[in-house]
Amino acid sequence: GKPSETDLTMEQGEAKRYYQSRLSLVRDQQGQVLGKTILLIDITQQLALLARMREVAATDELTGIANRRHFLAMGNLEIGRAQRYGHAVSVAFLDLDLFKKINDVYGHTVGDKMLCHVARLCQSNVRTIDIFARYGGEEVVLLFPETPPHAAVHAAERLRTTIANTPLRLDNAEIRVTVSLGIAGTERLGRMGLADLVDLADQALARAKASGRNRVVMIQASQQ
């Protein structure tokens, strides 16, 4: 018959190695079974490479946080859950204010460092269950599960204040930046999807920018 395959894990001290085992029957010329052979193939490196490829596919190369593709995949799962159970959910768009000026004055290398700086502050100031990613350019998108709009605004204000009060420290300078945030959320999610919430959050961000920057603007999604 055909060889059967089984994956095995073996511990060698603190390290783990992964093997694929192939069991085959050994037959004589008349087809009688004489015994069995087991072939162990070390697939540790292949699995590590696969895990790394998946990580790269989900990660923004510059900032090290999730990318848009990963956000949309994880966000749609969360939105589906919120729709099924009618739970609260909120989405936020964060954008660095006058980011072009930082690039023009200090150069793109410093601009990249500022993006990484803001990404680290986001990572340090959101919950484990929150989903956030670099959406493109200097925009970060956040999804707050189980979070009504007023609570999302509170979290966004805390993040906005933290970023404004935490300068990027370089060898010869301290550079400050502010951010604007647009929030879209609902107390009880119905048929509205992730794309709808992202679009409303983007509209709220545009209002925050137009009304002076360095602020949070919220749109109640259930009123749309």
Point out the residues that are catalytic: 138
| Nearest one of 93, 223, 78, 80 to 152, comparing CA atoms | 93
| Nearest one of 74, 82, 95, 89 to 197, comparing CA atoms | 89
Could you give the residue ranges of the DSSP H alpha helices within 93-193? 99-106, 108-124, 149-164
Six-digit token string for 93: 């768009």
Whether 142 contacts 126, CB under 8 Å: yes
First to last CA, the chain: 63
In a 10 Å sphere around its CB, with 0-12 CB exposed, 13-18 middle and 19+ buried, how is residue 86 labelled?
exposed
Distance of CA 14 to the CA centre of its chain: 29
Instruction: Give CA–CA dist 223/211, Å, rounded.
Output: 21
Whether 197 contacts 88, CB under 8 Å: no
Six-digit token string for 35: 């015994």
